[in-house]
Amino acid sequence: MTLKEIIHLLQAELICGESHINDNIEFAGGSDLMSDVLAFAKPGILLLTGLSNSQSVRTADIIEAKAIVYVRGKKPDPEGLKLAKKKDIPVLLTEFMMYTACGLLYSHNLPGVYSESDKKS
C-alpha cells in the first residue's frame, strides 16, 4: 500500500515528506509507548502513535520507520516536526482514534509487525 493510499484511507493530512508519497508501505504498528516501539519495531514500519513529543520522531528515526501517523488529532510538537523534516520522515495527521486507524489499515490488507503472539493465532 502506498503512502498516498494510506493518506486517502485515513483521511489524513501529510505535513512533511511529500516526496515519499508514492513509497510503498508493507506493514505497520501502533503504540503510544516508545519503549515498546523500540522493542518490537522493524525497519520500514509505518508507526501509528498518539504521542506527540519529539521523542516519537526520534524513536521513528532510530527504528527506521518509513512514516509516522499521528492519530486522534494529535500533531508533533515543533521540535518533533523540525526533526522529521531534517530526517526526511513523512508525517501524517488523522482524526481517527488509534483503534479505528489501525483497523482501517489492517482491513485493507496492511499487516502488522510480526510477533510471537501473531504466530500463535
Partner 1 sequence: MTEKENVLSRKFEIQGKDFSRAGSISSKIKEILQETGISNSIIRRAAIATYEAELNVVMYADKGILYFSLDPDSIRLKIDDKGKGIKDISLAMKEGYSTATEEYREMGFGAGMGLPNIKKNADKFTITSRVGKGTTLEILFCLNNSEVL
d(C-alpha 65, C-alpha 29), whole Å:
10
Stretch that binds partner 1, among 51-59, 68-76, 96-104, 112-120 (CB under 8 A): 51-59
Dihedral sign, CA of 111, 53, 98, 87? Answer: negative
Nearest-approach distance from CB 26 to partner 1, in angstroms: 16
Q: Which is nearer to partner 1, 7 or 59 (CB)?
A: 59
Nearest-approach distance from CB 119 to partner 1, in angstroms: 18
Q: Pairing mode, if any, of strands 28-30 and 13-16?
A: unpaired
Nearest-approach distance from CB 111 to partner 1, in angstroms: 21
d(C-alpha 71, C-alpha 51), whole Å:
9
Stretch 82-121: interaction string toward partner 1, x if CB under 8 A: ----------------------------------------
Region 60-89 residues binding partner 1, contact defined as CB under 8 A: 61-64, 79
Give the residue, chosen from 4, 26, 33, 111, that forms a contact with partner 1 under the rule CB under 8 A: 33
The secondary structure of 3-52 as a DSSP string is HHHHHHHTT-EEEE-GGGTT-B---EEE-S-HHHHHHH--TT-EEEE---
The three-point CA angle 114-105-9 to 5° equals: 155
Residues at the site binding partner 1, with contacts judged by CB under 8 A:
32-36, 38-39, 43, 49, 51, 53-56, 58-59, 61-64, 79
